Amino acid sequence: MTTPHPQGMARYAALADVLRQRIVRGEWLPGTALPAEQVLAHDHSVALGTIRRALQLLTEQGMIERVHGRGTFVRSGIPGASMLRFFRFGDEWDGASADGQAAQAPESRILSRQRMTATAEVARALGLPLGAAVLRLERLRLLAGQPRLLEHIWLPCELFKALEQDEPQHWEPLLYPMFAQRCHVHVHRASDDIGFGALPADVAHHLALSPGHPCAVVRRKAFNLAGRCVEWRTTWGDAHAFHYTVHLT
């Protein structure tokens, strides 16, 4: 197979784009190995040096990872990146690891699940047309039985139909591995935007805090391998417990 070479684009970059599309189409699933470099070079009728430069470009873009002695793999994505890493809750965090993860596993409780029509704000965040169907989850995160975070999670119904049928009490505590297993949606990357405000009354009720209590608000957009936004999430937590550490080297 001869790889098209668009005018003005380096051959290795054009080849990287072809390989990227094969990954996005699901020909190679996250976590699986790509064929050997020699095989790819033969299949696309290019020199070995060209395929290596194409693979290096995809590695720099975060699509694949090279494992010494094993081969080249499609990146598996992120497993969860819990919002709890932004907070400290006193004795509940005794024995926490250096990266801020709790020694004990947090509990997840789905409070509600609704199929809704996307508002303008939700449609814009998820890149959906107005009137598109979305699934809204309200999830409470607890530590040692105490409510600590409340999350509103918005998902495109077209991608998450399986979650409309499942009973939430049977869901796993980590959502992203469940998205991959049940819906074949792999979260490749996410961006978190952190701000501060005052708790709305309904959120304060779930967190056992007073309305207007200072809160930290984390808004997340999560993306699949194709770069599509597959989740928009808002998380509220006690601002007095907010703790964020950055290591500079």
Which CATH number goes with the domain that contains 29?
Answer: 1.10.10.10
246 in a structural domain: no
129 and 51 in a common domain:
no
6 in a structural domain: no
Local confidence pLDDT in tens for the 249 residues of the chain = 555 555 556 889 999 999 988 888 888 888 889 999 999 999 999 999 999 999 999 888 888 888 888 889 988 777 766 788 888 887 555 444 445 444 567 889 999 999 999 999 999 999 999 899 999 999 999 998 999 999 999 999 999 999 998 888 888 888 998 998 899 898 988 999 999 999 999 999 999 999 999 999 999 999 998 889 999 999 999 999 998 887 887
Q: Residue 98: its pLDDT value, please?
A: 45
91 and 39 in a common domain:
no
136 in a structural domain: yes
101 and 40 in a common domain:
no
Long-range contact list for 209-218, CB < 8 A, 24+ apart?
209/238, 213/238, 213/239, 214/238, 214/239, 214/240, 215/239, 216/86, 216/87, 216/242, 218/83, 218/86, 218/192, 218/193, 218/194
Q: Residue 26: its pLDDT value, please?
A: 80
DSSP H helix total and E strand total for the chain: 7, 8
Alpha-carbon gap, residue 81 to 216, rounded angstroms? 17
153 in a structural domain: yes
Q: Residue 4: its pLDDT value, please?
A: 55
96 and 16 in a common domain:
no
pTM value? 0.78
189 and 102 in a common domain:
yes
110 in a structural domain: yes
164 and 112 in a common domain:
yes
Upper half-sphere CA count for residue 201 (Cβ side, 13 Å): 0
Alpha-carbon gap, residue 21 to 236, rounded angstroms? 37
Q: Residue 170: its pLDDT value, please?
A: 83
124 and 29 in a common domain:
no
Q: Give the domain CATH number at 156.
A: 3.40.1410.10
- Domain that residue 40 falls in: 11-74
165 and 116 in a common domain:
yes
167 and 57 in a common domain:
no
Q: How many domains does the chain have?
A: 2
182 in a structural domain: yes
Alpha-carbon gap, residue 121 to 245, rounded angstroms? 30
